[in-house]
Chains A and B, each alone.
Chain A
């Protein structure tokens, strides 16, 4: 069964919300379109995979979150004579995506919230040209913020470097400085491992050993697959598991040879959002989302929600600006958005990444927020997470 099956009831409910917003705002307001761009056959949204609910992974499509962003912005936009309409834009598969993107251009949809795998984000950037402002709400690849960055592309979901920096800051603050690393075999695992190594070096966390793991029941590969055999080394404070998939990492907590916390893909996990965040208006956002979507809000949902809220911030003060001018405004750092994570948030001038606090979660709740107390930065402490101005490889500017 494809993700389409879950698409129909969503569309129905969103339709009701749209009708309601049209009734409340009246006819005079200028209407702006936001499209949530996704793929029907996105492996990240495979129904069986969604069911697993691995930490940091999506739990469903981002349409509800985008709609919540529009609902939350409605009254503020009404005062400015503007309104937002969220529309679902789903391609059957990667080969169908060009048709869909052309359709969005033809329909003059100015705001694209992308829920696409990293290579397809680049495809959307090319299709949009300078006619839209794009928000990447789920791809964590740092390359999209570096050599593959784009003038009109913004990132509301944190990058992998940001997430791993958050984790390393926490370990350093706890003085848990020796990590045994279990490294997965896939290309995604390797990228995760690179981000981890960069962060560990930055914050002085020592890797005592790196061991490859493999999902396997084969007794001849026991040393690669058995959590106890993988964790017999004595001199480590934590076991850091680099598992982009999540299945192996789930088997680790409380299953190691020594009583050591698991961090990374399970155990202590860096996240963009958590359904149990109880400060800064978090409970209200989580409750509103749960009411609309019948599930918990994930980091990807948060990123889509905050993308639409960014659009609302732009429309409130700069509705007449062109997409290129709006991208310049976002890159200027003077457009602010309230992400319910404490400080007001703004976009980095050098790569269009939304700077934001991140949560350290033990899956059941939030134990810490990064940047950790005591981490310093000459101008903006949120820029201790991820790629700072001096390190950026991004050349594109709006």
Chain B
């Protein structure tokens, strides 16, 4: 375990445990919680407990990046950018048990609502590709703008949204027709998505515009833009990438990349409530089930920051391999 001097509120482990137990809610049984973190240059997924104590490591395919659970949570899927595979990790045995071959340099993916199809952004081929996970066969491809990244499948499974970092667009893909039906112009270098729980708003982080575009999912127009500002930092130093939302649709957390902060945003007013210092190049985000702790992976300081979402403070930062990409939480 490692704590970094410039970060605030580094707690004593015992005190931390007490805080975390408190955060999980009075009376609630503290569920056994596991945090999985993909580490791009270790070809491993590291396993942590709720407090950020590393409990294991799972060997996976080369350069693991985005991760998601199967709908029954029995398997963890991980896209591997260098070996062009989707790794399938069996959770109970904590081993990679299977792989699905993908196109060149896969990055972010999403699953169909039934968990049978993976939609993957294939960075080097400028396509969104769909794969049948049971047969491990590619189903179809849709051409996108340069460097596709973020992917989000609608809850009815009929459409997928894809960002193109090069073209500054969000593509709306009709999955049945297998084609782009709308190009939506957003900010510079759009990266990743989150859908509001009511399905009415799609948030897109714009890495080089220092903001988030909020799309209306019925008109597919940008209805609001949320700018991020941090005292002492210039706009060019604020590079939003990750975004997650609470289940009540009231709060969004956005990671600000080079600014080394995460921002808490009021989803109704679109105002930034506060920013919290994390580590270097904060990208990946995940909330625990109680939404009391935000896990932030910091790609350039090779660590993960645990943020107390109620206090708005970093509780602790722990080592997380070389270039940690995505955290996911299971409890």
C-alpha gap A261/B167 in the complex (Å) = 42
Tell me how far the C-beta of A275 lies from the nearest C-beta in chain B, rounded to whole angstroms: 15
A74→B167 CA distance, assembly (Å): 8
The reply to whether the CB of A13 lies closer than 8 angstroms to some CB of chain B is no
Pick the contact of B168 from A24, A71, A76 — CB < 8 Å? Answer: A76
Nearest neighbor of B183 in chain A, beta-carbon distance? A79
A38 to B155 CA separation, bound complex (whole angstroms): 53
Q: At the interface, yes or no: B141 with Cβ under 8 Å from chain A?
A: no
Q: Are A76 and B166 in contact (CB under 8 A)?
A: yes
Cβ-defined contact, A343 with B208, below 8 A: yes
CB contacts (< 8 Å) of B147 on chain A: these are 281, 284
Q: Cα distance A273–B195 when bound, in Å?
A: 37
Shortest distance from the beta carbon of B62 to any chain A beta carbon, whole Å: 14
Report how far A336 CA is from B235 CA in the complex, Å: 13
Instruction: Decide if B183 touches A78 in the complex (CB within 8 Å).
Output: yes
Asked if B123 is at the interface (CB within 8 A of a chain A CB), the reply is yes
Does A75 lie within 8 Å of B189, measured CB to CB?
A: no
B88 CB to nearest chain A CB (Å): 26
- Whether a CB of chain A sits under 8 angstroms from the CB of B99 is no
Closest A residue to B81 using CB positions:
A283
The verdict on B85 contacting chain A, using a C-beta distance below 8 Å, is no
**A72-B183 contact in complex given A284-B105, A336-B208, A338-B189, C-beta closer than 8 Å:** no
The docked-state distance in angstroms from the alpha carbon of A188 to that of B167 is 39
A189 vs B219: C-alpha distance when bound (angstroms): 60
User: In the complex, which residues 193-207 of chain A have their Cβ closer than 8 Å to any Cβ of chain B?
Assistant: none
State whether A344 and B183 are in contact (beta carbons under 8 Å apart), knowing that A73-B166, A76-B168 are contacts in the complex. Answer: no
A24 touches B188 (CB 8 A): no
- Interface residue ranges of B133-154 to A (CB < 8 Å): 143-147
Contact A76 B169 (CB under 8 A): yes
- CB contacts under 8 Å to A, within B219-265, are 234, 236-237, 258
**Chain A residue at minimum C-beta to C-beta distance from B146:** A72
| A287 adjacent to chain B (CB < 8 Å) | yes
Q: Which of B124, B185, B208, B234 contacts A287 (CB 8 A)?
A: B124
In the complex, the answer to whether B167 meets A73 with C-beta atoms within 8 Å is: yes
**Chain A 380-395 residues near chain B, CB threshold 8 A:** 380-382
Instruction: Assess whether B124 is in contact with A284, with CB atoms less than 8 Å apart.
Output: yes
Shortest distance from the beta carbon of A370 to any chain B beta carbon, whole Å: 15
* Cβ-closest chain B residue relative to A343: B236
- Bound state CA distance, A343 and B185, in angstroms? 20
Q: Which residues of A contact B234 (CB under 8 A)?
A: 380-381
Q: In the assembled complex, which residues on chain A have CB atoms less than 8 Å from the CB atom of B183?
A: 75, 78-79
A328 CB-CB contact with B under 8 Å: no
Q: Is A344 a contact partner of B143 (Cβ separation < 8 A)?
A: no
Which of A79, A281, A287, A342 makes the CB contact (< 8 A) with B165? A281
List residues of chain B with CB within 8 A of the CB of A177.
Answer: none
Q: Inside 8 A of B168's CB, which chain A residues have their CB?
A: 76, 316
A79/B188 in contact, CB under 8 A: no
CA distance A73 to B146 in the complex (A): 7
Contact B167 A344 (CB under 8 A): no
Kindly provide the distance from the CB of A284 to the nearest chain B CB, expressed in whole angstroms. Answer: 6
Nearest B residue (CB) for A377: B234
Q: Which residue of B lies closest to A71 (CB)?
A: B146
- Measured as residues with beta carbon below 8 angstroms from the partner, the interface class of chain B is 20 to 34
- B188 lies within 8 A of A76 (CB): no
Which residues 41-94 in A have Cβ within 8 Å of B in the complex?
71-76, 78-80
Q: A284-B123, A338-B166 are in contact. Are A76 and B145 (CB under 8 A)?
A: yes
Tell me if B169 and A79 are in contact (CB < 8 A). Answer: yes
**B164 within 8 Å of A (CB atoms):** yes
Is B209 in contact with chain A by the CB < 8 A criterion? yes
Does A288 touch B at the CB level, under 8 Å? yes
Closest to A78 in B: B183
Give every chain B residue within 8 A of A74 (Cβ-Cβ): 145
CB distance from A35 to the nearest CB of B (A): 23
A76–B164 contact, CB under 8 A? yes
CB pair B143 A24 closer than 8 Å: yes
A75, closest chain B residue (CB) = B145
Chain B residues with CB under 8 Å of A24's CB are 143
How distant is the Cα of A74 from the Cα of B169 in the complex, in angstroms?
12
Chain A residues within 8 Å of B164, by CB? 75-76
Whole-angstrom distance between the Cβ of B228 and the nearest chain A Cβ: 15
Interchain CB contact (< 8 A) of B189 among A80, A288, A344:
A344
Give the CA-CA distance A342 to B189 in the complex, in Å.
11
Q: C-beta contact mask, A104-131 vs B, less than 8 Å → 1, else 0? A: 0000000000000000000000000000
B160 smallest CB distance to A (angstroms)? 16
Residue in B124, B167, B208, B209 whose CB lies within 8 Å of A288: B124
A229 to chain B, nearest CB (A): 44
Q: Write the B202-217 contact mask toward A (1 if CB under 8 angstroms, else 0).
A: 0000001100000000
Could you say which residues of chain A place their CB within 8 Å of the CB of B188?
Answer: 336, 338, 344
How far does the alpha carbon of A175 sit from the alpha carbon of B35 in the complex, in Å? 42
Q: How far is the CB of A65 from chain B (nearest CB, A)?
A: 14
Q: Are B169 and A344 in contact (CB under 8 A)?
A: no
Cβ distance A371 to chain B, nearest Cβ, rounded Å: 11
**B299 nearest in chain A by CB position:** A279
A106 to B123, CA, bound (A): 40
Do the beta carbons of A344 and B209 come within 8 Å of each other?
yes
Would B165 and A344 count as touching, CB distance under 8 A?
Answer: no
Nearest CB to that of B123 among chain A residues? Answer: A284
In Å, the complex CA distance between A287 and B147 comes to 12
Contact of A72 among B105, B166, B169, B237 (CB under 8 A): B166
Alpha-carbon gap, A395 to B238, bound state (A): 34
Nearest residue in A to B167 (C-beta to C-beta)?
A: A76
> Which chain A residue lies CB-closest to B281?
A279
Report the separation of the CA atoms of residues A25 and B304 in the bound assembly, to the nearest whole angstrom.
44
Q: B145 — which chain A residues lie within 8 A by C-beta?
A: 74-76
Chain B residues near A284: list those with CB within 8 A: 105, 123-124, 147
Can you list, as one digit per residue, whether each of B257-301 has a CB less than 8 Å from chain A (1) or not (0)? 010000000000000000000000000000000000000000000
Query: What are 23 A-B pairs at a CB distance below 8 A?
Result: A24-B143, A72-B146, A73-B167, A75-B143, A75-B145, A75-B166, A75-B183, A76-B146, A76-B168, A79-B183, A79-B185, A80-B185, A284-B123, A284-B124, A284-B147, A288-B124, A316-B168, A336-B188, A338-B188, A338-B189, A343-B236, A344-B208, A381-B234
Interface residues of B, Cβ cutoff 8 Å to A: 105, 123-124, 126, 143-147, 164-169, 183, 185, 188-189, 208-209, 234, 236-237, 258
Q: Which 3 A-B pairs have CB atoms at the shortest separation, nearest pair first?
A: A76-B167, A75-B145, A79-B183
What 15 new A-B contacts, CB under 8 Å, besides A73-B166, A78-B183?
A24-B143, A72-B167, A74-B145, A75-B164, A75-B169, A75-B183, A76-B168, A80-B185, A284-B105, A287-B124, A336-B188, A336-B208, A343-B208, A343-B236, A343-B237
